[in-house]
Amino acid sequence: MAKWWDYCIIGSGIAGLYTALLARQVGGSVLILTKGGIDECNTKHAQGGIAAAIGKGDSPELHLKDTLAAGDGLCYPEAVRILVEEAPDRIADLVKFGVPFDTMDGEVALTQEAAHSVSRILHAGGDATGEHIEVTLSRLARLAKCEILEHCLVAEIVVEDGVFKGVRAFDCRTGAIEEFACRFAILATGGAGQLFKFTTNPDIATGDGIALAFRAGAEITDMEFIQFHPTALRLPGVAPFLISEAVRGEGGVLRNSRHQAFMAGYSPQGDLAPRDIVARSILAEMKSTGSDKVFLDITHLPARTVAARFPHIYRFCLEHGLDITRSPIPVAPAAHYMMGGVETNTWGETNIAGLFAAGETACTGVHGANRLASNSLLEVVVFGKRIIQRTAEVLDGRGLVAESGSQAVHHLSRRKATRSAPPSLSALQSLMWDKVGIVRSGEALSRSATTLAAWERALGGPSDRPSYELANLILVGRLMAEAALLREESRGAHFRSDFPHPSPGWQRHIVFRAES
Protein backbone atom coordinates (compact mmCIF):
# COMPACT_ATOMS: atom_id res chain seq x y z
CA MET A 1 0.00 0.00 0.00
CA ALA A 2 1.97 2.95 -1.32
CA LYS A 3 -0.47 5.75 -0.43
CA TRP A 4 -1.11 6.63 3.22
CA TRP A 5 -3.53 8.89 5.10
CA ASP A 6 -4.48 9.57 8.71
CA TYR A 7 -8.17 9.21 7.90
CA CYS A 8 -9.97 7.25 5.21
CA ILE A 9 -13.61 8.30 5.22
CA ILE A 10 -15.94 6.02 3.31
CA GLY A 11 -19.01 7.95 2.16
CA SER A 12 -19.80 11.58 1.39
CA GLY A 13 -23.05 12.30 3.20
CA ILE A 14 -23.21 14.51 6.26
CA ALA A 15 -21.48 11.86 8.42
CA GLY A 16 -18.52 11.64 6.05
CA LEU A 17 -18.20 15.33 5.31
CA TYR A 18 -18.66 16.47 8.91
CA THR A 19 -16.00 14.08 10.25
CA ALA A 20 -13.71 15.00 7.35
CA LEU A 21 -13.90 18.70 8.22
CA LEU A 22 -13.25 18.04 11.90
CA ALA A 23 -10.35 15.72 11.03
CA ARG A 24 -8.74 18.48 8.99
CA GLN A 25 -9.18 20.85 11.93
CA VAL A 26 -7.06 18.57 14.13
CA GLY A 27 -4.37 18.39 11.47
CA GLY A 28 -5.09 14.98 9.98
CA SER A 29 -4.69 14.12 6.31
CA VAL A 30 -8.04 13.04 4.89
CA LEU A 31 -9.08 10.82 2.00
CA ILE A 32 -12.79 10.64 1.16
CA LEU A 33 -13.85 7.64 -0.92
CA THR A 34 -17.35 7.73 -2.41
CA LYS A 35 -18.82 5.27 -4.88
CA GLY A 36 -20.77 7.99 -6.71
CA GLY A 37 -20.33 11.74 -6.93
CA ILE A 38 -19.72 13.65 -3.72
CA ASP A 39 -23.19 15.13 -3.92
CA GLU A 40 -24.96 11.74 -4.08
CA CYS A 41 -26.10 10.84 -0.58
CA ASN A 42 -29.03 10.08 1.66
CA THR A 43 -28.59 13.20 3.76
CA LYS A 44 -30.02 15.60 1.22
CA HIS A 45 -33.31 13.69 1.41
CA ALA A 46 -33.67 14.51 5.12
CA GLN A 47 -36.56 16.95 5.08
CA GLY A 48 -37.80 17.18 8.64
CA GLY A 49 -34.79 18.66 10.40
CA ILE A 50 -32.50 18.12 13.35
CA ALA A 51 -33.63 17.85 16.99
CA ALA A 52 -32.04 19.78 19.85
CA ALA A 53 -33.29 21.06 23.20
CA ILE A 54 -32.60 24.75 22.65
CA GLY A 55 -36.09 26.26 22.94
CA LYS A 56 -37.95 27.81 25.86
CA GLY A 57 -39.58 25.17 28.04
CA ASP A 58 -37.34 22.43 26.66
CA SER A 59 -34.39 20.67 28.28
CA PRO A 60 -32.00 17.78 27.66
CA GLU A 61 -33.97 15.80 30.25
CA LEU A 62 -37.19 16.15 28.22
CA HIS A 63 -35.34 15.22 25.04
CA LEU A 64 -33.86 12.21 26.86
CA LYS A 65 -37.29 11.09 28.05
CA ASP A 66 -38.81 11.32 24.57
CA THR A 67 -35.90 9.45 22.97
CA LEU A 68 -35.99 6.61 25.52
CA ALA A 69 -39.76 6.29 25.11
CA ALA A 70 -39.46 6.00 21.34
CA GLY A 71 -36.65 3.45 21.67
CA ASP A 72 -39.00 1.07 23.51
CA GLY A 73 -36.54 -0.27 26.09
CA LEU A 74 -33.54 -0.82 23.81
CA CYS A 75 -31.72 2.52 23.82
CA TYR A 76 -28.32 2.74 25.48
CA PRO A 77 -29.07 5.35 28.19
CA GLU A 78 -25.48 6.62 28.34
CA ALA A 79 -25.42 7.20 24.58
CA VAL A 80 -28.78 9.00 24.69
CA ARG A 81 -27.61 11.27 27.49
CA ILE A 82 -24.53 12.20 25.48
CA LEU A 83 -26.76 12.86 22.46
CA VAL A 84 -29.14 15.25 24.19
CA GLU A 85 -26.56 17.06 26.35
CA GLU A 86 -24.12 17.74 23.51
CA ALA A 87 -26.84 18.70 21.02
CA PRO A 88 -26.82 22.50 21.57
CA ASP A 89 -23.03 22.72 21.06
CA ARG A 90 -23.20 20.68 17.87
CA ILE A 91 -25.96 22.93 16.52
CA ALA A 92 -23.67 25.88 17.24
CA ASP A 93 -20.94 24.13 15.23
CA LEU A 94 -23.27 23.78 12.23
CA VAL A 95 -24.19 27.46 12.48
CA LYS A 96 -20.48 28.35 12.48
CA PHE A 97 -20.01 26.19 9.38
CA GLY A 98 -22.71 28.30 7.72
CA VAL A 99 -25.78 26.05 7.77
CA PRO A 100 -28.70 28.48 7.22
CA PHE A 101 -31.27 27.34 9.77
CA ASP A 102 -34.64 29.05 9.38
CA THR A 103 -35.40 31.85 11.83
CA MET A 104 -38.44 33.71 13.07
CA ASP A 105 -38.23 37.12 14.75
CA GLY A 106 -34.46 36.77 14.99
CA GLU A 107 -34.48 33.36 16.69
CA VAL A 108 -34.06 29.86 15.27
CA ALA A 109 -37.49 28.57 14.26
CA LEU A 110 -38.55 25.34 15.97
CA THR A 111 -41.32 22.95 14.99
CA GLN A 112 -42.81 19.80 16.50
CA GLU A 113 -42.78 16.26 15.15
CA ALA A 114 -44.38 13.01 16.24
CA ALA A 115 -43.44 11.68 19.70
CA HIS A 116 -41.63 14.90 20.71
CA SER A 117 -43.26 16.50 23.76
CA VAL A 118 -42.31 20.05 22.69
CA SER A 119 -41.20 21.93 19.57
CA ARG A 120 -37.47 21.22 19.19
CA ILE A 121 -36.90 20.58 15.46
CA LEU A 122 -34.62 23.01 13.64
CA HIS A 123 -35.01 23.18 9.87
CA ALA A 124 -33.40 24.92 6.90
CA GLY A 125 -35.14 25.97 3.72
CA GLY A 126 -38.42 24.79 5.23
CA ASP A 127 -38.29 21.12 4.30
CA ALA A 128 -34.81 20.98 2.72
CA THR A 129 -32.70 20.67 5.89
CA GLY A 130 -30.54 17.76 4.78
CA GLU A 131 -29.84 19.33 1.42
CA HIS A 132 -28.74 22.63 2.99
CA ILE A 133 -26.41 20.86 5.44
CA GLU A 134 -24.99 18.63 2.70
CA VAL A 135 -24.33 21.54 0.30
CA THR A 136 -22.69 23.60 3.06
CA LEU A 137 -20.39 20.78 4.19
CA SER A 138 -19.59 19.67 0.64
CA ARG A 139 -18.35 23.15 -0.24
CA LEU A 140 -16.25 23.34 2.93
CA ALA A 141 -14.75 19.87 2.37
CA ARG A 142 -13.41 20.95 -1.00
CA LEU A 143 -11.97 24.12 0.52
CA ALA A 144 -10.41 22.16 3.42
CA LYS A 145 -8.14 20.28 0.99
CA CYS A 146 -9.56 16.85 1.66
CA GLU A 147 -8.59 14.47 -1.13
CA ILE A 148 -11.84 13.23 -2.68
CA LEU A 149 -11.96 10.18 -4.93
CA GLU A 150 -15.37 9.85 -6.60
CA HIS A 151 -16.76 6.70 -8.24
CA CYS A 152 -14.49 4.67 -5.95
CA LEU A 153 -16.31 1.82 -4.16
CA VAL A 154 -14.61 0.27 -1.15
CA ALA A 155 -14.53 -3.50 -1.73
CA GLU A 156 -12.68 -4.67 1.39
CA ILE A 157 -11.54 -3.50 4.80
CA VAL A 158 -8.07 -4.84 5.55
CA VAL A 159 -7.62 -6.06 9.14
CA GLU A 160 -4.59 -7.76 10.66
CA ASP A 161 -4.71 -9.24 14.16
CA GLY A 162 -7.86 -7.27 14.99
CA VAL A 163 -6.37 -3.95 13.88
CA PHE A 164 -7.49 -1.91 10.87
CA LYS A 165 -4.74 -1.41 8.28
CA GLY A 166 -6.35 -0.02 5.14
CA VAL A 167 -8.92 -0.52 2.39
CA ARG A 168 -9.11 -1.99 -1.08
CA ALA A 169 -11.28 0.02 -3.44
CA PHE A 170 -12.84 -0.67 -6.84
CA ASP A 171 -12.67 2.11 -9.44
CA CYS A 172 -16.18 2.08 -10.93
CA ARG A 173 -14.93 3.71 -14.15
CA THR A 174 -11.85 1.60 -14.92
CA GLY A 175 -12.48 -1.61 -12.99
CA ALA A 176 -9.10 -1.36 -11.28
CA ILE A 177 -8.52 -2.31 -7.63
CA GLU A 178 -6.42 0.14 -5.62
CA GLU A 179 -5.15 -0.12 -2.04
CA PHE A 180 -5.03 2.71 0.49
CA ALA A 181 -3.22 2.51 3.82
CA CYS A 182 -4.77 4.61 6.60
CA ARG A 183 -4.45 5.04 10.31
CA PHE A 184 -8.21 5.24 10.82
CA ALA A 185 -11.27 4.44 8.73
CA ILE A 186 -14.68 5.97 9.32
CA LEU A 187 -17.58 4.08 7.77
CA ALA A 188 -20.18 6.65 6.72
CA THR A 189 -22.01 4.89 3.90
CA GLY A 190 -25.61 5.41 5.01
CA GLY A 191 -28.41 2.86 5.19
CA ALA A 192 -29.85 0.03 3.11
CA GLY A 193 -33.23 1.25 1.89
CA GLN A 194 -32.66 -0.34 -1.52
CA LEU A 195 -33.40 -3.70 0.11
CA PHE A 196 -37.08 -2.88 -0.27
CA LYS A 197 -39.49 -2.44 -3.17
CA PHE A 198 -40.70 0.87 -1.76
CA THR A 199 -38.17 3.19 -0.12
CA THR A 200 -37.54 6.87 0.43
CA ASN A 201 -33.79 6.21 0.02
CA PRO A 202 -31.81 6.96 -3.15
CA ASP A 203 -30.18 4.27 -5.30
CA ILE A 204 -26.88 4.51 -3.38
CA ALA A 205 -28.37 3.18 -0.09
CA THR A 206 -27.20 -0.43 -0.48
CA GLY A 207 -25.85 -1.28 2.99
CA ASP A 208 -22.22 -1.22 1.87
CA GLY A 209 -20.69 -0.20 5.20
CA ILE A 210 -22.53 -2.84 7.19
CA ALA A 211 -21.54 -5.58 4.72
CA LEU A 212 -17.91 -4.43 4.68
CA ALA A 213 -17.73 -4.29 8.46
CA PHE A 214 -19.33 -7.72 8.93
CA ARG A 215 -16.93 -9.39 6.49
CA ALA A 216 -14.02 -7.72 8.32
CA GLY A 217 -15.12 -9.14 11.68
CA ALA A 218 -16.98 -6.17 13.17
CA GLU A 219 -20.08 -6.69 15.32
CA ILE A 220 -23.47 -5.86 13.76
CA THR A 221 -26.37 -5.04 16.09
CA ASP A 222 -30.18 -4.52 16.02
CA MET A 223 -30.61 -5.40 12.34
CA GLU A 224 -34.27 -6.34 12.83
CA PHE A 225 -35.17 -2.72 13.49
CA ILE A 226 -35.77 -0.77 10.30
CA GLN A 227 -38.11 2.16 10.28
CA PHE A 228 -40.77 2.42 7.62
CA HIS A 229 -41.82 6.00 7.06
CA PRO A 230 -45.62 6.08 7.06
CA THR A 231 -46.02 8.83 4.48
CA ALA A 232 -44.24 8.48 1.15
CA LEU A 233 -45.90 9.93 -1.93
CA ARG A 234 -47.79 7.25 -3.88
CA LEU A 235 -48.47 8.44 -7.43
CA PRO A 236 -48.52 6.18 -10.53
CA GLY A 237 -45.14 6.22 -12.29
CA VAL A 238 -43.47 8.34 -9.57
CA ALA A 239 -40.80 6.88 -7.27
CA PRO A 240 -41.69 7.09 -3.56
CA PHE A 241 -40.95 10.59 -2.33
CA LEU A 242 -40.77 11.42 1.36
CA ILE A 243 -43.60 13.53 2.74
CA SER A 244 -42.04 14.80 5.95
CA GLU A 245 -43.44 13.95 9.34
CA ALA A 246 -43.39 17.69 9.93
CA VAL A 247 -46.45 17.93 7.68
CA ARG A 248 -48.41 16.10 10.36
CA GLY A 249 -46.60 18.14 12.99
CA GLU A 250 -48.00 21.28 11.38
CA GLY A 251 -51.57 19.92 11.44
CA GLY A 252 -51.83 17.45 8.56
CA VAL A 253 -54.58 14.82 8.95
CA LEU A 254 -54.46 11.25 7.62
CA ARG A 255 -57.64 10.12 5.85
CA ASN A 256 -58.50 6.81 4.20
CA SER A 257 -59.84 6.42 0.68
CA ARG A 258 -63.32 7.15 2.05
CA HIS A 259 -62.00 10.51 3.29
CA GLN A 260 -62.38 9.46 6.93
CA ALA A 261 -59.79 10.58 9.51
CA PHE A 262 -58.69 7.34 11.18
CA MET A 263 -55.63 7.72 13.41
CA ALA A 264 -57.63 8.51 16.57
CA GLY A 265 -58.95 4.95 16.37
CA TYR A 266 -55.44 3.50 16.54
CA SER A 267 -53.60 5.71 19.03
CA PRO A 268 -54.45 8.36 21.65
CA GLN A 269 -51.70 10.45 20.00
CA GLY A 270 -53.67 10.42 16.76
CA ASP A 271 -51.76 11.69 13.73
CA LEU A 272 -48.70 12.36 15.90
CA ALA A 273 -48.27 8.75 17.03
CA PRO A 274 -44.84 7.12 16.57
CA ARG A 275 -43.93 6.11 13.03
CA ASP A 276 -44.29 2.35 13.49
CA ILE A 277 -47.84 2.72 14.81
CA VAL A 278 -48.79 5.11 12.01
CA ALA A 279 -47.26 2.84 9.33
CA ARG A 280 -49.13 -0.25 10.57
CA SER A 281 -52.33 1.78 10.95
CA ILE A 282 -52.08 2.93 7.36
CA LEU A 283 -51.54 -0.67 6.20
CA ALA A 284 -54.65 -1.72 8.10
CA GLU A 285 -56.72 1.09 6.53
CA MET A 286 -55.42 0.26 3.06
CA LYS A 287 -56.42 -3.38 3.56
CA SER A 288 -59.87 -2.59 4.97
CA THR A 289 -60.70 -0.16 2.16
CA GLY A 290 -59.08 -2.16 -0.64
CA SER A 291 -56.79 0.71 -1.58
CA ASP A 292 -53.04 1.01 -2.18
CA LYS A 293 -52.87 4.37 -0.42
CA VAL A 294 -54.34 6.77 2.11
CA PHE A 295 -54.31 10.57 2.01
CA LEU A 296 -52.54 13.24 4.04
CA ASP A 297 -54.75 16.30 4.09
CA ILE A 298 -53.39 19.82 4.70
CA THR A 299 -55.94 21.66 2.57
CA HIS A 300 -57.38 23.25 5.72
CA LEU A 301 -54.12 25.17 6.29
CA PRO A 302 -53.52 28.53 4.57
CA ALA A 303 -52.03 27.93 1.12
CA ARG A 304 -49.35 30.54 1.75
CA THR A 305 -48.27 28.75 4.94
CA VAL A 306 -48.01 25.37 3.20
CA ALA A 307 -45.93 26.73 0.31
CA ALA A 308 -43.59 28.60 2.67
CA ARG A 309 -43.15 25.81 5.24
CA PHE A 310 -42.83 22.95 2.76
CA PRO A 311 -41.47 24.48 -0.44
CA HIS A 312 -39.64 21.32 -1.55
CA ILE A 313 -42.67 19.05 -1.09
CA TYR A 314 -45.00 21.67 -2.57
CA ARG A 315 -42.90 22.13 -5.72
CA PHE A 316 -42.28 18.40 -6.22
CA CYS A 317 -45.98 17.56 -6.00
CA LEU A 318 -46.92 20.49 -8.21
CA GLU A 319 -44.47 19.27 -10.86
CA HIS A 320 -46.37 15.98 -10.86
CA GLY A 321 -49.78 17.60 -11.22
CA LEU A 322 -50.78 17.77 -7.55
CA ASP A 323 -51.48 21.04 -5.73
CA ILE A 324 -51.28 20.02 -2.07
CA THR A 325 -52.96 23.26 -0.95
CA ARG A 326 -56.11 22.13 -2.80
CA SER A 327 -55.97 18.32 -2.84
CA PRO A 328 -54.90 15.76 -0.20
CA ILE A 329 -51.58 13.97 -0.77
CA PRO A 330 -51.78 10.24 -1.67
CA VAL A 331 -49.32 8.41 0.61
CA ALA A 332 -48.27 4.92 1.72
CA PRO A 333 -45.44 3.55 3.87
CA ALA A 334 -41.91 3.01 2.54
CA ALA A 335 -38.61 1.78 4.00
CA HIS A 336 -36.81 4.76 5.45
CA TYR A 337 -34.16 4.36 8.18
CA MET A 338 -32.12 1.62 9.88
CA MET A 339 -31.81 1.75 13.65
CA GLY A 340 -29.29 -1.10 13.63
CA GLY A 341 -25.88 -1.31 12.02
CA VAL A 342 -22.22 -1.52 12.94
CA GLU A 343 -21.96 -1.68 16.74
CA THR A 344 -20.02 1.22 18.25
CA ASN A 345 -19.30 2.52 21.70
CA THR A 346 -19.91 6.14 22.70
CA TRP A 347 -16.71 7.19 20.87
CA GLY A 348 -17.74 5.66 17.56
CA GLU A 349 -15.28 2.76 17.94
CA THR A 350 -16.05 -0.73 16.66
CA ASN A 351 -14.52 -3.92 18.06
CA ILE A 352 -11.78 -3.54 15.40
CA ALA A 353 -9.10 -1.09 16.55
CA GLY A 354 -8.88 1.88 14.19
CA LEU A 355 -12.26 1.23 12.52
CA PHE A 356 -15.08 3.66 13.33
CA ALA A 357 -18.64 4.09 12.10
CA ALA A 358 -20.89 7.15 11.96
CA GLY A 359 -24.41 8.00 10.87
CA GLU A 360 -26.97 5.48 9.68
CA THR A 361 -24.28 2.83 9.11
CA ALA A 362 -23.53 2.83 12.84
CA CYS A 363 -25.52 1.50 15.75
CA THR A 364 -24.64 3.89 18.57
CA GLY A 365 -27.60 2.75 20.67
CA VAL A 366 -29.42 6.08 20.71
CA HIS A 367 -32.36 4.89 18.57
CA GLY A 368 -33.15 1.58 20.25
CA ALA A 369 -36.09 -0.20 18.64
CA ASN A 370 -37.55 2.90 17.03
CA ARG A 371 -35.82 6.18 16.17
CA LEU A 372 -37.31 9.41 17.47
CA ALA A 373 -37.92 11.74 14.53
CA SER A 374 -35.03 14.09 13.62
CA ASN A 375 -32.56 12.46 16.01
CA SER A 376 -30.62 10.97 13.08
CA LEU A 377 -28.91 14.15 11.85
CA LEU A 378 -28.18 14.99 15.48
CA GLU A 379 -26.61 11.57 16.06
CA VAL A 380 -24.25 12.21 13.13
CA VAL A 381 -22.83 15.46 14.46
CA VAL A 382 -22.67 14.42 18.12
CA PHE A 383 -20.90 11.10 17.59
CA GLY A 384 -18.96 12.29 14.54
CA LYS A 385 -17.41 14.93 16.80
CA ARG A 386 -16.58 12.28 19.40
CA ILE A 387 -14.85 10.10 16.80
CA ILE A 388 -12.49 12.93 15.95
CA GLN A 389 -11.92 13.74 19.61
CA ARG A 390 -10.95 10.12 20.21
CA THR A 391 -8.67 9.81 17.19
CA ALA A 392 -7.03 13.16 17.92
CA GLU A 393 -5.68 11.56 21.10
CA VAL A 394 -3.73 9.12 18.93
CA LEU A 395 -2.42 11.87 16.69
CA ASP A 396 -1.21 13.52 19.92
CA GLY A 397 0.40 10.25 21.05
CA ARG A 398 -2.05 9.48 23.87
CA GLY A 399 -3.16 6.06 22.64
CA LEU A 400 -6.35 4.36 21.55
CA VAL A 401 -8.12 1.24 22.76
CA ALA A 402 -11.13 -0.19 20.92
CA GLU A 403 -13.79 -1.54 23.24
CA SER A 404 -15.57 -4.73 22.23
CA GLY A 405 -19.32 -5.09 22.72
CA SER A 406 -20.61 -6.90 25.79
CA GLN A 407 -23.64 -8.60 24.21
CA ALA A 408 -23.92 -12.30 23.38
CA VAL A 409 -22.85 -12.78 19.78
CA HIS A 410 -24.69 -14.80 17.12
CA HIS A 411 -23.42 -16.23 13.84
CA LEU A 412 -25.45 -16.53 10.66
CA SER A 413 -27.25 -19.87 10.49
CA ARG A 414 -25.78 -22.58 8.27
CA ARG A 415 -28.93 -23.02 6.26
CA LYS A 416 -29.53 -25.91 3.91
CA ALA A 417 -30.49 -24.45 0.58
CA THR A 418 -31.16 -25.84 -2.86
CA ARG A 419 -29.22 -24.55 -5.84
CA SER A 420 -30.43 -21.18 -6.99
CA ALA A 421 -29.78 -18.78 -9.82
CA PRO A 422 -28.40 -15.38 -8.82
CA PRO A 423 -31.30 -13.04 -8.07
CA SER A 424 -32.18 -9.77 -9.70
CA LEU A 425 -32.33 -6.63 -7.57
CA SER A 426 -36.09 -6.44 -8.11
CA ALA A 427 -36.56 -10.04 -6.90
CA LEU A 428 -34.60 -9.23 -3.73
CA GLN A 429 -36.60 -6.05 -3.13
CA SER A 430 -39.93 -7.85 -3.57
CA LEU A 431 -38.90 -10.64 -1.19
CA MET A 432 -37.80 -8.21 1.49
CA TRP A 433 -40.90 -6.01 1.15
CA ASP A 434 -43.34 -8.93 1.24
CA LYS A 435 -41.64 -11.13 3.87
CA VAL A 436 -39.29 -8.95 5.95
CA GLY A 437 -41.29 -5.73 5.85
CA ILE A 438 -43.69 -3.87 8.14
CA VAL A 439 -45.53 -7.00 9.38
CA ARG A 440 -43.51 -10.22 9.72
CA SER A 441 -44.09 -13.85 10.67
CA GLY A 442 -41.73 -16.64 11.70
CA GLU A 443 -42.65 -18.87 8.76
CA ALA A 444 -42.08 -16.13 6.17
CA LEU A 445 -38.84 -15.03 7.81
CA SER A 446 -37.47 -18.57 7.88
CA ARG A 447 -38.23 -19.09 4.19
CA SER A 448 -36.73 -15.71 3.35
CA ALA A 449 -33.51 -16.41 5.26
CA THR A 450 -33.11 -19.72 3.42
CA THR A 451 -33.70 -18.05 0.05
CA LEU A 452 -31.22 -15.28 0.85
CA ALA A 453 -28.59 -17.84 1.87
CA ALA A 454 -29.08 -19.66 -1.46
CA TRP A 455 -28.82 -16.40 -3.39
CA GLU A 456 -25.67 -15.49 -1.51
CA ARG A 457 -24.05 -18.80 -2.50
CA ALA A 458 -25.16 -18.38 -6.11
CA LEU A 459 -23.41 -15.05 -6.56
CA GLY A 460 -20.22 -14.97 -8.58
CA GLY A 461 -17.37 -12.61 -7.87
CA PRO A 462 -18.42 -8.96 -8.27
CA SER A 463 -17.11 -7.20 -11.36
CA ASP A 464 -18.89 -3.85 -11.41
CA ARG A 465 -20.72 -1.48 -9.09
CA PRO A 466 -24.17 -3.17 -9.44
CA SER A 467 -22.76 -6.62 -8.63
CA TYR A 468 -20.86 -5.30 -5.57
CA GLU A 469 -24.02 -3.56 -4.38
CA LEU A 470 -26.21 -6.64 -4.92
CA ALA A 471 -23.79 -8.81 -2.91
CA ASN A 472 -23.85 -6.26 -0.08
CA LEU A 473 -27.64 -6.04 -0.12
CA ILE A 474 -28.11 -9.80 0.02
CA LEU A 475 -25.76 -10.09 3.00
CA VAL A 476 -27.47 -7.22 4.84
CA GLY A 477 -30.88 -8.72 3.98
CA ARG A 478 -29.76 -12.02 5.53
CA LEU A 479 -28.65 -10.27 8.71
CA MET A 480 -32.00 -8.49 8.89
CA ALA A 481 -34.09 -11.60 8.26
CA GLU A 482 -32.12 -13.74 10.72
CA ALA A 483 -32.33 -11.09 13.45
CA ALA A 484 -36.08 -10.66 12.88
CA LEU A 485 -36.53 -14.45 13.07
CA LEU A 486 -34.60 -14.65 16.35
CA ARG A 487 -36.60 -11.87 18.03
CA GLU A 488 -39.82 -13.65 18.99
CA GLU A 489 -41.75 -10.59 20.13
CA SER A 490 -42.98 -7.28 18.75
CA ARG A 491 -41.09 -4.17 19.83
CA GLY A 492 -40.73 -0.75 18.22
CA ALA A 493 -40.38 -0.99 14.47
CA HIS A 494 -40.20 -4.82 14.58
CA PHE A 495 -43.68 -6.41 14.42
CA ARG A 496 -44.29 -10.17 14.41
CA SER A 497 -47.87 -11.28 13.70
CA ASP A 498 -47.12 -14.57 15.51
CA PHE A 499 -45.66 -12.73 18.53
CA PRO A 500 -47.68 -9.48 18.56
CA HIS A 501 -46.66 -8.28 22.04
CA PRO A 502 -43.36 -7.24 23.65
CA SER A 503 -41.64 -9.73 25.94
CA PRO A 504 -39.48 -8.71 28.93
CA GLY A 505 -37.10 -11.55 28.07
CA TRP A 506 -36.34 -9.85 24.75
CA GLN A 507 -35.29 -6.51 26.24
CA ARG A 508 -31.81 -7.23 24.90
CA HIS A 509 -29.85 -6.85 21.69
CA ILE A 510 -29.07 -9.29 18.90
CA VAL A 511 -25.43 -9.04 17.79
CA PHE A 512 -23.92 -10.80 14.78
CA ARG A 513 -20.26 -11.41 14.01
CA ALA A 514 -18.79 -13.43 11.14
CA GLU A 515 -17.30 -16.77 12.10
CA SER A 516 -13.52 -16.61 11.96
Whether the Cβ atoms of residue 368 and residue 510 lie closer than 8 Å to each other: no
What CATH number is given to the structural domain containing 428? 1.20.58.100
Amino acid code (one letter) for 264: A
Residue 246 forms part of a structural domain: yes
Please give the average per-residue pLDDT across 69-83, as a whole number: 96
Which of 309, 335, 361 marks a domain boundary? 335
Q: What is the mean pLDDT of the chain?
A: 92
CA pair distance 24, 28, nearest whole angstrom: 5
Residue 289 forms part of a structural domain: yes
67 vs 106 pLDDT, higher one: 67
Query: What number of other Cβ atoms are within 10 A of residue 28's Cβ?
Result: 20
What CATH number is given to the structural domain containing 304? 3.90.700.10
Please give the average per-residue pLDDT across 355-381, as a whole number: 95
CA pair distance 123, 51, nearest whole angstrom: 9
Catalytic position from the list 90, 275, 309, 386: 275
Residue 305 forms part of a structural domain: yes
Provide the CA 122 distance to its chain's centre, in angstroms: 19
pTM for the structure as a whole: 0.93
Residue-number span of the structural domain to which 431 is assigned: 411-512
H/E stretch holding 286 = helix 275-289
Q: How many domains does the chain have?
A: 2
Residue 199 forms part of a structural domain: no
Whether residue 182 has pLDDT greater than 90? yes
Residue 417 forms part of a structural domain: yes
Residue 291 forms part of a structural domain: yes
CA pair distance 516, 514, nearest whole angstrom: 6
Identify the DSSP state of 265. G
Q: Please give the pLDDT value at position 1.
A: 47
Residue 98 forms part of a structural domain: no
Tens of pLDDT, residue by residue over 420-434, are 777 899 999 999 999
Q: Please give the pLDDT value at position 418.
A: 67
Write the burial class of residue 400 (CB in 10 Å: 0-12 exposed, 13-18 middle, 19+ buried). Answer: middle
Q: Are residues 232 and 330 in the same domain?
A: yes
Which of 291, 319, 335 marks a domain boundary? 335
DSSP 19-36: HHHHHHHTT--EEEE-SS
Whether the Cβ atoms of residue 363 and residue 348 lie closer than 8 Å to each other: no
Q: Please give the pLDDT value at position 142.
A: 81
Q: Please give the pLDDT value at position 395.
A: 75
Tens of pLDDT, residue by residue over 457-494, are 999 899 999 999 999 999 999 999 999 999 999 999 99
Confidence band for 40, pLDDT divided at 50, 70 and 90: low
Confidence band for 399, pLDDT divided at 50, 70 and 90: low
Q: Please give the pLDDT value at position 398.
A: 61
Whether the Cβ atoms of residue 402 and residue 353 lie closer than 8 Å to each other: yes
Catalytic-residue membership of 234: no
Q: Give the CB-side neighbour count of residue 19, counting CA atoms within 13 A.
A: 37
Q: Please give the pLDDT value at position 222.
A: 98
Residue 403 forms part of a structural domain: no
- Strand 4-10 relative to strand 30-33, pairing: parallel
